[in-house]
């Protein structure tokens, strides 16, 4: 059994410092094997925002795997946006845009889906697809395989961000062949889970978990939150932990168990009184 903390869309520059401190405490308390950060570290890809993000990540007590999001590419400086889109990300965070984490139970591959041209919509190039395939094929089939991206393969339940990763059907078909069990993503600032087999023609289940915004003031009607995911080869438990004004608490949880190559939902539990507002979406 492994525990992965999945946080997203921190948007330093628009962060709430009290919540940011609360998140560090909650992460430390749960001792995850890995902290995944699925993009949008900053609000406008400014130097001071990246420095704040880096200083924050330096305080993690556990290993982390980070990918960029569209907000980590400069928006208004056209030269930087097109010529040096992720220079600041690489300078302050990591120059590895395809990070990997592997241990005896899980193999996690991150990929950059942010693009200069279509800032809000993500893509995975053919080269990146080949990289994903090569990486996953080096790992034992006994490992639980996780792909980390910023953008979405499945829109949120309220369909408020319908644009998907470019050529999503082709990408899904190929990651299915890699044996990917779970995709972690952000971008929509909505927390939700899905099974790609209900949206694409796949022979296997591939679960998707989106995290909302962990610490920023861009909540889109949802409280700040993150996913704490326990997993092994036949079980996945996704606990959505949200900020209640004082600390992070479990607001909702979803469990799946695997029968042959399909994930079956065991339960979906919401904490009494919790009802995520799925309306009032504005573009991220």
- CA triple 186-41-108, angle to 5 deg: 55
CB of 150 to Fe ion, least distance (A): 6
69-108 residues in contact with Fe ion (CB under 5 A) are 69-70
| 3-state secondary structure (DSSP) of residue 258 | strand
Cα(39)–Cα(256) distance, integer angstroms:
25
With CA atoms as reference, report the closest residue to 88 among 49, 140, 58.
49
Helix axes 168-177, 126-138, angle to 10 degrees: 20
Strands 182-185 and 207-210: parallel
Shorter beta-carbon distance to Fe ion: residue 68 or 179: 68
Task: Determine which residue in the list 5, 9, 119, 152 makes contact with Fe ion, applying CB under 5 A.
Answer: 9
Shorter beta-carbon distance to Fe ion: residue 44 or 91: 44
CB of 71 to Fe ion, least distance (A): 6
Shorter beta-carbon distance to Fe ion: residue 187 or 241: 187
Shorter beta-carbon distance to Fe ion: residue 145 or 187: 187
Stretch that binds Fe ion, among 174-182, 186-194, 233-241, 250-258 (CB under 5 A): 186-194
Sheet holding 106-110, edge to edge: 100-102, 106-110, 144-148, 182-185, 207-210, 192-195
CB of 122 to Fe ion, least distance (A): 8
187 lies in the site for Fe ion, by CB under 5 A:
yes
CB of 261 to Fe ion, least distance (A): 31
CB of 255 to Fe ion, least distance (A): 27
Number of residues lying near Fe ion (CB under 5 A):
6
- CA triple 128-282-48, angle to 5 deg: 65
Binding site for Fe ion (CB under 5 A): 9, 40, 69-70, 187, 284
């Amino acid at each position: 059994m492994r525990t992965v903390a999945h946080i997203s869309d921190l948007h330093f520059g628009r962060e709430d410092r009290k919540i940011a401190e609360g998140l560090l405490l909650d992460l430390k308390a749960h001792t995850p094997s890995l902290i995944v950060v699925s993009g949008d570290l900053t609000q406008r890809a400014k130097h001071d925002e990246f420095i704040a993000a880096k200083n924050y990540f330096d305080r993690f007590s556990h290993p982390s795997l980070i990918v960029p999001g569209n907000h980590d590419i400069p928006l208004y400086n056209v030269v930087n946006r097109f010529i040096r889109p992720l220079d600041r990300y690489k300078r302050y965070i990591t120059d590895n845009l395809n990070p990997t984490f592997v241990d005896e139970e899980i193999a996690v591959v991150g990929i950059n889906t942010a693009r200069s041209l279509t800032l809000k919509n993500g893509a995975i190039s053919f080269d990146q697809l080949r990289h994903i395939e090569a990486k996953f094929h080096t790992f034992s089939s006994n490992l639980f395989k996780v792909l980390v991206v910023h953008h979405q393969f499945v829109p949120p339940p309220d369909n408020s961000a319908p644009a998907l990763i470019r050529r999503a059907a082709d990408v899904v078909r190929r990651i299915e062949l890699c044996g990917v069990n779970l995709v972690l993503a952000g971008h929509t600032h909505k927390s939700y889970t899905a099974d790609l087999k209900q949206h694409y023609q796949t022979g296997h289940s591939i679960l998707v978990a989106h995290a909302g915004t962990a610490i920023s003031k861009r909540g889109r009607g949802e409280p700040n939150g993150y996913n704490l995911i326990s997993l092994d080869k036949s079980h996945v438990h996704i606990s959505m932990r949200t900020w209640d004004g004082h600390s992070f608490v479990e607001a909702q949880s979803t469990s799946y168990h695997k029968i042959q190559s399909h994930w079956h939902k065991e339960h979906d539990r919401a904490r009494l009184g919790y009802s995520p507002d799925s309306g009032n979406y504005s573009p991220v």
